[in-house]
Amino acid sequence: MKRTILAILPVLLVISAFQLSTTHTTGTAPIITPDVKSRINATLKRFIDSGKTVGVSALIFEKGKEVYFNSFGYADREAKLPMDRNTLVRIFSMTKPVTGVALMTLYEKGAFQLDEPLSKYCPEFTDMKVYQGVDANGNLILEPAKRPITIRDLTRHTAGFAGTDIPALAELVKKANYMAPTNTLSEMAKKLASLPLQFHPGDQWAYGPSVDVQAYLVEKLSGKPFDQYVKETILDPLKMTNTRYVIPENDRGRFAALYNRSEDGVLTRVPDEQANSFNTKDWALKPGGFGLTSTLDDYMKFTQMLVNKGQLGKVRILKSETVKLMSTNQLSDTITKRLWLPSKGRVGFGIDFAVRTQPPANKEENNGVVGEFFWDGAASTVFWVDPVNDLTAVLFTQLVPFDKVKLHKSFRDAVYGEFESAGGK
């Protein structure tokens, strides 16, 4: 017996060492310990004390329970209004996953298939043309798209919609003004469909109005205004009562100010009439890609639904297999042009989420666990869902341009510990 134990001891030691080295990827030991809470507090406070942002708050749940909340600085510096968990913020592109969930509730009802042409339901997008350049006279050279835009293209940003980085297309985009708040989703779609595509569907990953077209598709398939469908299908069942496009008059005192950080680090308040214009008037446009405002607790309900595989308490929003599909990388290796997506880490893209496919390559890269899915917003907000550790995190601030101060990386390092490669730091 003693000989047997001695024989297997090296194996046990190897297993033990492996378990210690993979604490953050096995989901066994808790991530948020008292020491980690202190590290997060110190990290977030440092961003306020150093003047990198005006206010910041964070909420983390692990295994279904709140394990961290704190806030630092101001929601409104000029009014000396502290940042807290009831502060309303502009979540910008963190609206996108909400839209994706709304769309996938219709997928579950059999309303569409992901690889069907978008034009089957939205005829405006039939026979799309693709930009090939300009001739000697400055006229656009176009060719027919090699294949139709599919609904899957919409969900993973491979539709090819025109952006502003090519001057000839930028001029057309500006003229079409398809995202004007006075447009309905139907008017937005017609104007967008009149423009040539920037690349053939499926050839590249390029961020753009795809999720706004998803919102239009939700309207077409459900027969209801998009914001009404989202409210009835997601917000009301999850009791996300503070998540809205339009903030009522009596709640505007909780609405955070938006701050711009200059290249030399000066924080200037964006004028309220500019920062608040979209969320204090009931515009015709209810976009799928941006526009919602929310609180930490509200958005945490959404992330908890996702980490619980589509369910929160007794409320089921999606089937577990649908959440799995949404959080699985949909980008093939043939899609090599991915704009700035690689700056998020070694990730692919699922259905309205980035999906981490490999561990960080080095300590400069954003930290995280393989299998997590996440997204962020233009005012430097971020959330992620870590199914391995049953952990969800939401970080709020109101800072533009987007995260030039590397708040997200610092927050992730505070949560998980600075990344260590197999050979050490």
Q: Would you state the pLDDT for residue 312?
A: 98
Q: Is the pLDDT of residue 92 over 60?
A: yes
Tokens of residue 165, six digits? 């980085």
- Mean pLDDT over 164-173 rounds to 93
Q: Is the pLDDT of residue 423 over 60?
A: no
- pLDDT per residue as tens digits for the range 361-389: 998 999 999 999 999 999 999 999 999 99
Q: Is the pLDDT of residue 22 over 80?
A: no
Average pLDDT, the chain: 93
- pLDDT per residue as tens digits for the range 25-44: 455 799 999 999 999 999 99
Pick from 349, 353, 390, 350: nearest CA to 369? 390
Pick from 138, 154, 139: nearest CA to 103? 154
- Mean pLDDT over 156-167 rounds to 94
Going by pLDDT thresholds of 50, 70 and 90, the confidence category of residue 17 is very low
Quickly list H helices, 266-353: 272-275, 296-307, 320-326
Q: Would you state the pLDDT for residue 27?
A: 53
User: CB burial class (10 A; 0-12, 13-18, 19+) of residue 23?
Assistant: middle
Q: Would you state the pLDDT for residue 7?
A: 42
- Report d(CA 53, CA 59) in Å as an integer: 18
| Residue that is written with structure tokens 């920037």 in the block | 198
- pLDDT per residue as tens digits for the range 328-363: 999 999 999 999 999 999 999 999 999 999 999 998
- pLDDT per residue as tens digits for the range 59-83: 999 999 999 999 999 999 999 999 9
Q: Would you state the pLDDT for residue 253?
A: 96
Q: What kind of architecture, by CATH, is found in domain 30-94+225-416?
A: 3-Layer(aba) Sandwich (3.40)
Going by pLDDT thresholds of 50, 70 and 90, the confidence category of residue 13 is very low
- Report d(CA 251, CA 253) in Å as an integer: 5
Q: Which residues fall within 8 angstroms of residue 236, CB to CB, at 6 or more apart?
A: none
Q: Would you state the pLDDT for residue 316?
A: 98
The percent of residues in the chain predicted with pLDDT above 90, rounded, is 88
- Report d(CA 233, CA 102) in Å as an integer: 7
Quickly list H helices, 223-346: 226-230, 272-275, 296-307, 320-326
Going by pLDDT thresholds of 50, 70 and 90, the confidence category of residue 20 is very low
Going by pLDDT thresholds of 50, 70 and 90, the confidence category of residue 141 is very high
- Mean pLDDT over 126-153 rounds to 96
Are residues 199 and 145 in contact, defined by beta-carbon separation less than 8 angstroms? no
- pLDDT per residue as tens digits for the range 247-302: 999 999 999 999 999 999 999 999 999 999 999 999 999 999 999 999 999 999 99
Q: Would you state the pLDDT for residue 419?
A: 82
